[in-house]
Chain A
Amino acid sequence: QKEVEQNSGPLSVPEGAIASLNCTYSDRGSQSFFWYRQYSGKSPELIMFIYSNGDKEDGRFTAQLNKASQYVSLLIRDSQPSDSATYLCAVKPSYDKVIFGPGTSLSVIP
C-alpha cells in the first residue's frame, strides 16, 4: 500500500462548480496535512494546511480532515479556469518526514 494515495485524474469540472480532491494516507500517527497546487512547469505552492479533525476554510478552499478514516480532502468552490493545475497532498507522519501523494490533475472547463 502506498503511503499517500490520490486519484490521478484528470478531474474535470465546469466553471463555477465545486471540485473535490481526495487523499488517503497509511500512517495513522500522521500529524499534519498539506495541499499544494502545481501549475505546469512551476514549483508546488502551498494553498492549505490542516492539523485537526474537521473543516478548515480559506476563501474558496476548504480542507477536511478525518484522522479516524485516514482521509483528507480539498474542496474548491466556484471553480475557475485558473484553478486548473495538479494538486498534491502531503502528509507529515513525524517531525520532519514529508510524504507527497502522486497528485490529482484538475481541469476547470469554461
Chain B
Amino acid sequence: GAGVSQSPSNKVTEKGKDVELRCDPISGHTALYWYRQSLGQGLEFLIYFQGNSAPDKSGLPSDRFSAERTGGSVSTLTIQRTQQEDSAVYLCASSGGGAFYEQYFGPGTRLTVT
C-alpha cells in the first residue's frame, strides 16, 4: 500500500477483555515500531521489530502487552485483560532499516476501555 495502515481505527472494549490491534507497514520497510499516546501526552515507545532480529520489547509497560510480526510484514499488538489506563491511541510506524531512514506513521487505533 501507499502508507502504513492500522485497524481498527477505533476500538471500545470492556475492562478485562483482550484486544488485538493490527499494523500493515509500508511494503519493503524492515523496521516496525509501536507507540502509545495518551491524550495530550507525548509518544511512549512500546516495541520495535527489525528484520529477523529479536524485537526490542523494552517499552512494553507490563506482561499484559505483547506483539508479534509475521513474515517480516504485518504486526499485531495484543493487550490482555485490558485496564482503563490502557485507553490511548496506539500508533504504528515503519521505516527502512538503518540510521538514516525516517519513520512513517499510520493513522492510529484509538482504544477506549470502559
Contact = CB atoms under 8 A, between A and B. Distances in A.
A98 B97 CA distance: 12
A44 B105 contact: yes
B106 interface: yes
B65 interface: no
A96 B97 contact: yes
B100 A46 contact: no
A96 B95 contact: yes
Interface stretch (B14-22, B40-48, B67-75, B77-85): B40-48
Given A96-B98, A100-B43, A43 B103 contact: no
A45 interface: yes
B99 A88 contact: no
Interface residues of A, number: 23
Interface residues on B, range: 20 to 34
B108 A43 contact: yes
Interface in A19-62: 31-32, 34, 42-46, 49, 51
Contacts of B33: 98
Contact of A92 (B50, B99, B108): B99
Contact of B107 (A31, A43, A88, A96): A43
Given A95-B99, A96-B98, 10 more contacts: A32-B99, A34-B102, A43-B106, A45-B105, A51-B100, A97-B48, A97-B56, A98-B103, A100-B42, A102-B42
6 contacts: A31-B99, A34-B102, A45-B105, A95-B50, A96-B98, A100-B45
Across the A-B interface, give the 8 residue pairs with the lowest CB-CB distance, nearest first. Answer: A43-B105, A102-B42, A31-B99, A100-B43, A96-B50, A46-B102, A96-B31, A32-B100
